[in-house]
Amino acid sequence: MKKRESALAYTTLGWQVFPLHTVIGTGCSCGNLECESRGKHPRIKHGLLNASDDPAQIAEWWGRWPDANIGVRTGEESGIVVIDIDDMGKRGLYDIPKTVWQRTGGGGEHHVFLHPKRHIKTTVGVVPGIDSRGDGGYIVAPPSNHVNGFYEWIESPFDGCDIADVPDWWVHALDNPVKKTRDPSLGGEKIPNGSRHNEVFNFGVRSWKSTQLSETVLGAMLHAYNKEMCLEPLPEAEIEAMVVSISQYDGKTEAEWLEEQEYLKTAKAYTAEMRESRQKRITDSLVNNVTRKAGPPPEFMPSEGLIRDIAEFIMAQSERPLPLLSVSAAVALVAVLAGGKYETYTGLGPNLMLVALAESGSGKQKPKNVINNILSELDLYRFLGADDIASAPGLIAELADNASKLFFLDEFGYALQSITNKNSSSTKREIMSTMMKLYSSYGTTYNGTAYADKKSRPKTIIQSPCFVLQATSTHQTFYDALSSEHGSDGFIARMLVIPCGEEREDRVKKRYDRTIPTGIKARLIELSGIQFVGKKIVWIPDEVDNAFIDLDNSMTKLMAQNRELKEQARAIYSRVAENATKLAMVYAISMSVTDPIIDHSAFVWGREIAIWCANNIMERISENVADNETERLNKKMVLRVQESGREGITRRDLQRRFLNMKAWERDDMLKSTIEMGLLFEHSGRLYHPEFKDILESDDA
């Protein structure tokens, strides 16, 4: 049974449920790399306090997060309490009646009993090795996942097993707790790392609630407790932050208070992740010549949502799956169906120009074929543009039929060569100019081109055109088509260029199921047909909006601090925030068609991909982009020497790499390259200048 169906089934028992985060690999879908509650903490604000048994609410939650783990609220609201056995060594010490129970992902047991119509507290260590989940608590329910496996019913509530009354000894144990101590001198154990924050914080909450303390006294108590009870005391700054947080207690129940603090803790982790960008660090290294490699891609595949489902469906049809291209094609499909319906408060839309680079015979055609079949079967062919663009008027004519169209262009590198060649006709060059105009025309009116003969060639006016490009090319063909002027005029910067690997993947034998999953069909039809009064403004919370502004300002600062940065690079990085916003918007729409929100996850996903694409262009532009063949070969020669590293390369070995050149041309190029200081010779070997100081130091 899938999680959505399971969540709905629990409501038939009168249980209230709510969505939790999910374990992904060994991490958590919350994105916090140090998460201590992987797959166990709430996805929604106020968690269990907003638990529901309303089928419509359940359908909305699991429609948005299909993989969400299931939290079942315990206590009077659901009519159940749970005996939680973590230490299986203590299992045989107690008489636990036959009842509904599950084995947890961690190997423990949850025994479910009827709520006795009196307060049953949620607490740990009621008796050694056993905890209570009662009022103000919750459990993770099957078929949720865990870092060590899955939760599963051993005695299921759906297989005729009755839920027993809670045993008397358990109620007695709750009413008469054994006083526990963590004082080592009294036989207790100190608080280990991983539990320190919660233990100290909860001690502070209990102290604040039960006595009239000043902040100063509370602070002194927490500092003393931290030093005496923790195996390794928490930093003093963290204790001070706790004091401020606890002192703002406003009379909520302890469960409500702790739930709110958990939410704030998660929000803090999200804020930290929004501020920290691995790709941005690589950007700094690239522009400062610390490194010349963009590095591996970030996580392209979203953890959930329509983009992920489409991408996985594409890969399931592919003999040589290309994950990055599959995600790119899925993004393009969602983007074109969203065209004309959504925008940010600044007027940005989902019109994207995506270019995937992969080698011949690698399966570049498969995503296009799958998307074509999807649009054809769903009668959405009006959103698909022509296979080739012969002229700018032809492109405009396509969009005049339907203002939002997706163009799958194969062998895009060759098409660019015909467009960007200095000897090409003005008709060809006009295609590139029109693409650039369309990129910036979303949310406005495209007024077309005026011709002298207005009757036979009337001006074409298009309201809010959404030109979405998903192009493919081999690596070298694409870069050979570009000259440095196309970097400086922003043509490259408008594209998200996605290298999908330079090696051909092994072929995988599969039995294909070309049936489009019902869930994908339903959501695509909903997206294509949804209508709003005007455009739907995709909400960006203040903290995320500030993060976008910080991203844009950081790119501006990077360019200001690196005045020597080439115009191509300046143009590329100037578009990063815009491309990140567009990606995040499409991500948000794929999560919720009716109420998309660019949350922290959408922001981080869009930002990391946009910066990585820019970094790849930055890496490649210095290696491949040139205004003539001589400059291109010159760059290639420098690159080959640089790749030899500290060992250097002999003239003879370098010449073997350029056997297609005439000997005198090769010798003249090498001579000029050395004279310009791009290479230098030392002890009969050629080196890149980055190794000059090292070699001179070795000689000394």
Each residue's pLDDT tens digit, 418-460 = 766 666 677 777 888 888 888 888 888 887 776 666 676 777 8
Residue % of the chain over a pLDDT of 70? 81
**Would you say residue 382 has pLDDT above 90?**
yes
pLDDT at position 77: 92
Each residue's pLDDT tens digit, 395-416 = 999 999 999 999 999 888 888 7
Residue 540 and residue 345 in contact, taking contact as beta carbons nearer than 8 Å: yes
Q: How confident is the model at residue 16 (pLDDT cuts 50, 70, 90)?
A: very high
**Would you say residue 484 has pLDDT above 60?**
no
Decide which of 1.10.3720.10, 3.40.50.300, 3.30.1960.10, 1.10.10.10 is the CATH code for 630-699.
1.10.10.10
Domain spanning 279-624: CATH 3.40.50.300: yes
Q: How confident is the model at residue 290 (pLDDT cuts 50, 70, 90)?
A: very low
Q: ∠ CA(309), CA(310), CA(315), 5° rounding? A: 100
How many angstroms separate the CA atoms of 431 and 390, rounded?
A: 8
pLDDT at position 183: 44
Mean pLDDT of 210-217: 66
In this structure, the dihedral spanned by the alpha carbons of residues 457, 459, 462 and 466, taken in order and rounded to 10 degrees, is 70
**Would you say residue 619 has pLDDT above 50?**
yes
> Which range among 167-181, 251-265, 329-343, 415-429 has the greatest average pLDDT?
329-343
Decide which of 3.30.460, 1.20.58, 2.60.40, 3.30.2250 is the CATH code for 1-179.
3.30.2250
How many angstroms separate the CA atoms of 488 and 108, rounded?
A: 61
Each residue's pLDDT tens digit, 58-80 = 988 998 888 899 999 999 999 99
How many angstroms separate the CA atoms of 417 and 433, rounded?
A: 15
pLDDT at position 148: 87
Residue 385 and residue 398 in contact, taking contact as beta carbons nearer than 8 Å: yes
pLDDT at position 52: 93
Each residue's pLDDT tens digit, 314-349 = 988 888 888 999 999 999 999 999 999 999 988 999
**Would you say residue 20 has pLDDT above 70?**
yes
**Would you say residue 179 has pLDDT above 50?**
no
**Would you say residue 46 has pLDDT above 60?**
yes
Residue 313 and residue 352 in contact, taking contact as beta carbons nearer than 8 Å: no
- Of 487, 438, 458, 430, the closest CA to residue 617 belongs to 487
Specify the higher pLDDT residue, 484 or 335: 335
Residues 6+ apart with CB under 8 A from 179: none
Residues 6+ apart with CB under 8 A from 296: none
pLDDT at position 184: 43
Model confidence, pTM: 0.58
pLDDT at position 223: 85
Each residue's pLDDT tens digit, 105-155 = 888 899 999 999 888 888 877 776 788 899 888 999 999 999 888 999 999
Q: How confident is the model at residue 180 (pLDDT cuts 50, 70, 90)?
A: very low
Q: Out of 142-146, 237-241, 609-613, which region has the weakest mean confidence (pLDDT)?
A: 237-241
**Would you say residue 210 has pLDDT above 80?**
no
**Would you say residue 671 has pLDDT above 60?**
yes
**Would you say residue 351 has pLDDT above 90?**
yes
Mean pLDDT of 171-184: 61
How many angstroms separate the CA atoms of 265 and 34, rounded?
A: 12
Each residue's pLDDT tens digit, 538-547 = 988 888 888 8
- Shared fold status for 279-624 and 630-699: no
pLDDT at position 487: 45
DSSP string covering 328-393:
HHHHHHHHHHHTTTEE-TT---S--EEEEE--TTSSTHHHHHHHHHHHHHTT-GGGB--S----HH
Q: Out of 201-210, 352-361, 477-486, 507-516, which region has the weakest mean confidence (pLDDT)?
A: 477-486
Residues 6+ apart with CB under 8 A from 614: 283, 493, 572, 573, 575, 576, 579
User: Which residue ranges make up each domain of the chain?
Assistant: 1-179, 181-276, 279-624, 630-699
